[in-house]
Chains A and B, each alone.
Chain A
């Protein structure tokens, strides 16, 4: 039985602890390279859920919610019939044209998200992500009649609210990937008795088999223009990167190594794939152009154990998981042209938000795996505490 616990008291307590922890952390941030400091902001006048949502949204975005004396900005407002807010700087200058903003319609939760997005855009100068969605794999530990650990694909608001179980196949479903610009998910399901990649239209529920070969059909990644699919197939005798049209037609084999390739992702210009390969021992990041040519290593300064790359939507960075020995996993980001990688924080399987700044990652906590949102610039992490069970393989809708 899955339970999505939104015990309000527990949630508030967790948020309060997080707020304190983040506040404490704000003092410790050291600015190095591209790392940025948390921006101190104070909230006043909001209550209950709206207050919680605003804190969460702003902290994920790179703010530290602090007391008014320490704040550079003040977000003041109220939530009754609708959320209203004013945003001022230290000199009490209003940052919203006309003074205040009101957010009628929808739920108080969505109103709070909208206000948070406006604050982020006004101060941090990038589009907010508070109203985006994340798909992920979810396990409860339940097994089916074949003794397979059941995993299903879920879609939730980026903060874990409104989680919705998309697949009900009662078997292994995994590796969700959004088709950019569409309300369609691709994922691997064992529903036909073995792994097959499906596309699933979220509006109608219609789904179609895309890749159904013997062996591995996994790691679907859709090109930013929404027209092509990259995936890992082993039908040739080794897990290799293949690319086809969005419906699975016109397949081409891009890699021909004897060792395993995994986790393909696309450059924003739809021309290049980055993936992990164990060719040559260990695992390293490789690039290959769709137009042809051999795969070539991405320079990450000799760092070993790099897997699960994800290319930021603005094209500047590639985030990846560095596997240490054991379960010591660290998220890094490196210039997409190659260079010296920078550690961002513990976690695995990063997926960039549309803002090219926040990463959805998985963190192992005891036996469970939790969804966490990691700011690649400030390195501040916020765990999504509302989802029980184990999460994996986040894919941020873009």
Chain B
């Protein structure tokens, strides 16, 4: 019970973005992600959603039947998403310690995405596995070297899966893959606060074919460099 209370307290502290307290209940060698503002966060600019149209009163409480919903079919892609909302305030973090304290702030502010820089470094995984294979380590090491000599750069790792898993399972597996790559980077000396993760599960295949060759291309982790605006690349 005491332990549970402690876990709750740590969660609360993180939620309030007061960071810097260690998550000591984590027994194993995991490295916490740099924290964002957590609850609430920077989404105050989020446009309101859509209300469901009112139902038409009847004995059945049923709805008007009009076949084609009036607004279905019109996607209005967001022209200007707020950008990758990472976190920047991280300092003095020992990547080998694990259970790293959560700093605050947004890594992604004023940054642009570079998806090409490390395209050749995409890490591939075995079926249903999240371990970074030995044969893939050199790719990660190269990314680590770049990050260590460009300490103002930040990195997002995207985890992806092939479609041979349920959606719920693959979302978690994709995240595990991204986190495994992250741990590898940290072992190479990249500061924990400079790297975050996102999972797309099976939703963004590199190859939409349904064969082993396509599946192998889809089980991957991609590196997206977040470059400060105004910085020349390469």
Interface residues of A (CB under 8 A from B): 1-4, 6, 49, 103-111, 113-114, 117, 131, 139-140, 142, 144-152, 154-155, 157, 161-172, 174-175, 183, 190-196, 198, 200-216, 218-219, 232, 234-239, 242, 244, 247-253, 256, 258-263, 276, 278, 283, 292, 307-308, 321, 323, 325-327, 329, 348-349, 362, 367, 392-393
Contacts and interface: CB of A to CB of B under 8 A. Distances in A.
Contact of B175 (A193, A234, A252, A258): A234
A103 B62 CA distance: 11
- A-B pairs, 3 with minimum CB distance: A106-B58, A110-B62, A170-B77
Given A103-B59, A163-B72, A214 B66 contact: no
A145 B134 CA distance: 34
- Between B8, B56, B168, the greatest number of chain A beta carbons within 10 A of the residue's beta carbon is seen for B168
Q: Interface of chain B, helix or strand or loop or mixed?
A: loop
B51 A235 contact: no
Contacts of B71: 164-165, 168
A147 B38 CA distance: 26
Given A6-B68, A114-B60, A144-B77, A193 B46 contact: no
Contacts of B216: none
Interface string B76-103: 1110011111110000000000111010
B46 A253 contact: no
B59 A193 contact: no
B169 A256 contact: no
Given A163-B72, A260-B172, A191 B46 contact: yes
B52 A256 contact: no
B26 A252 contact: no
Interface in B13-67: 14-15, 23, 25-28, 30-43, 46, 48-53, 56-67
Contacts of B68: 3-4, 6
B117 to A, nearest CB: 16
B10 interface: yes
B60 A307 contact: no
B12 A2 contact: no
B120 interface: no
B139 interface: no
B203 A212 contact: no
A71 to B, nearest CB: 24
A162 B172 contact: no
Interface residues of B, number: 95
A106 B57 contact: yes
A165 B1 CA distance: 44
Interface of B: 1, 3-4, 7-8, 10-12, 14-15, 23, 25-28, 30-43, 46, 48-53, 56-69, 71-78, 81-87, 98-100, 102, 108, 130, 156, 163-169, 171-173, 175-176, 179, 183, 196-200, 203-204, 208, 210
A189 B3 CA distance: 33
A216 B39 contact: no
A392 to B, nearest CB: 6
Contacts of A239: 172, 175-176, 179
A164 B72 contact: yes
A41 B40 CA distance: 53
A137 to B, nearest CB: 8
B173 A260 contact: yes
Nearest to B205: A149
A4 B67 CA distance: 7
Given A234-B175, A251-B14, A109 B50 contact: no
B46 A237 contact: no
Contacts of A107: 56, 58, 62-65
Given A111-B58, A252-B11, A164 B168 contact: no
Nearest to A254: B7
Given A131-B62, A161-B65, A237-B99, A212 B42 contact: yes
Contacts of B11: 242, 244, 250-253
A292 B4 contact: yes
Contacts of B164: 325-327
B7, B36, B169: residue with the most chain A Cβ atoms closer than 10 Å: B169
14 contacts: A3-B72, A104-B59, A105-B60, A109-B63, A150-B75, A168-B75, A168-B76, A174-B203, A175-B171, A192-B82, A198-B43, A198-B46, A236-B32, A292-B3
B35 A213 contact: yes
Given A107-B64, A167-B50, A209 B26 contact: no
B58 A235 contact: no
A204 B49 CA distance: 8
Nearest to A257: B28
Contacts of B197: 214-216, 234
Contact of B52 (A183, A213, A253): A183
B31 A237 contact: yes
A165 B50 contact: yes
Contacts of B41: 192, 196, 209, 212
A164 B52 contact: yes
Contact of A196 (B43, B57, B130): B43
B52 A166 contact: yes
A213 B38 contact: yes
Contacts of A196: 41, 43
B167 A193 contact: no
Nearest to A362: B167
A164 B102 CA distance: 39
Given A110-B63, A348-B167, A349-B167, A193 B82 contact: yes
A202 B48 CA distance: 11
Contact of A170 (B76, B100, B199, B203): B76
A120 to B, nearest CB: 13
